[in-house]
Structure 1
Amino acid sequence: MTQVLVLVLALAIGVVAGLRAMTAPAVVAWGAMLGWIDVADKWSEWMAHPITATVLTIFLVGELITDQLPKTPSRKVPPQFIARLISGGFAGAVIGSAFFHTFSATGAGMIGAVLGTMAGAALRAGLADRNHGKDRPGAFIEDVIAVGGGFLVAFLVSLVP
């Protein structure tokens, strides 16, 4: 049962990475630093360091800002898509490491990143169509879902037996 819960949470953090690539590793670092994700004495222990959380948070904020710019490329172009796969897989691996399921959680995180990338693009395009081409409201909604959902996933890891 634990492995299934870990895979679901890794999949969910992958969805977050599909929405915002840097959000997933940042919230996982915060989760580790706050003790929600037990990375003590594991390969991922460095994620709990305050410097790691700070640097990843700076990247997250930078991404939230650059995403609002009109020249930001689509999340579905290869470099953006690959970044989301790597980010989702990595964040999933960190969650999995807390339960010694690193490899399966990596795969779940990558699958979640694909789902989040495609669903996020469709959601945002649909919202822009309904707002007469205005993309910013959809972007802000997506930011809230990604950051809030990411912290929720990180917290839920602490509840897995």
Structure 2
Amino acid sequence: MTHVLVLLLALLIGVVAGLRAFTAPAAVAWAGMLGWLVLDGTWAQWVAHPITVTVLTILLVGELVTDQLPKTPSRKTAMQFGARLVTGGFSGAVIGTAFGYTIGGLGAGVIGAVLGTLGGYEVRKRLVARNGGRDLPIALLEDGIAVVGGFVIVWLATVI
């Protein structure tokens, strides 16, 4: 796979992290465990361990639930934004590592997280406004896009 495609996948997984912080690391963990990303012998091989996959999956499900709560802070607050930058960069680095581009993947993942955080916020805000102020259907749509998108992105690493 060319470095441009690897960086594109890392950027896209960062966008997913911008939408839902724990979806991107859960997706790369599952991809590692399923052999979609070959991480053996790298710094990231621990990501594919069943315990890591389980913990990240629990965090993902927890995030999907807490996102629906009215007191959940905006993704643009410092703590929420920072978490997305970290998980986007990490997930991008894992994808990059599978193809020998760890640092490039890290950078692309962080950039994608910025795009996903800010872009996702704006799109959700506009869709909620068009939907008569009903947030739940839009939040659930965003959840689905993040989860399905995350797994499609890591699966694409096996076919591109």
State the TM-score, normalized to the length of structure 2: 0.98
Question: 1:67-99 deviations in whole A, cap 9, x for unaligned?
Answer: 000110000011100100000000000001111
Q: Distance in 1 between matches of 2:136 and 2:112?
A: 24
Give the C-alpha shift of residue 125 in structure 1: 0.5
Equivalent positions of 1:65-84 (< 5 A) are: 65-84=65-84
Give SS of 1:158's match.
helix
Give the C-alpha shift of residue 159 in structure 1: 2.2
Q: List structure 1 segments (4+ residues) > 3 angstroms apart after TM superposition.
A: none
Q: Distance in 1 between matches of 2:21 and 2:71?
A: 17
The amino acid of 1:155's aligned partner reads W
Q: Distance in 1 between matches of 2:77 and 2:133?
A: 21
Give SS of 2:41's match.
coil
Q: Distance in 2 between matches of 1:148 and 1:159?
A: 17
Q: Distance in 1 between matches of 2:109 and 2:91?
A: 7
Match of 2:104 in 1: 104
Aligned residues: 160
Q: Distance in 2 between matches of 1:64 and 1:141?
A: 11
Q: Distance in 2 between matches of 1:116 and 1:49?
A: 27
Match of 1:146 in 2: 146
Q: Distance in 1 between matches of 2:128 and 2:45?
A: 41
Question: 1:108-161 deviations in whole A, cap 9, x for unaligned?
Answer: 00000000001110111011101211111110010000000000011011124x
Give SS of 1:100's match.
coil
Q: Distance in 2 between matches of 1:124 and 1:136?
A: 10
The amino acid of 2:21's aligned partner reads A
Match of 1:25 in 2: 25
Unaligned runs of 5+ residues in structure 2 are: none
Q: Distance in 2 between matches of 1:46 and 1:154?
A: 17
Cα RMSD (Å) of the superposition? 0.8
Q: Distance in 2 between matches of 1:132 and 1:70?
A: 17
Give SS of 1:70's match.
coil
Give the C-alpha shift of residue 8 in structure 1: 0.1
Q: Distance in 1 between matches of 2:147 and 2:7?
A: 20
Give SS of 2:159's match.
coil
Give SS of 1:122's match.
helix
Unaligned runs of 5+ residues in structure 1 are: none
The amino acid of 2:52's aligned partner reads T
Give the C-alpha shift of residue 16 in structure 1: 0.2
Give SS of 2:83's match.
helix
The amino acid of 1:59's aligned partner reads L
Q: Distance in 1 between matches of 2:159 and 2:47?
A: 19
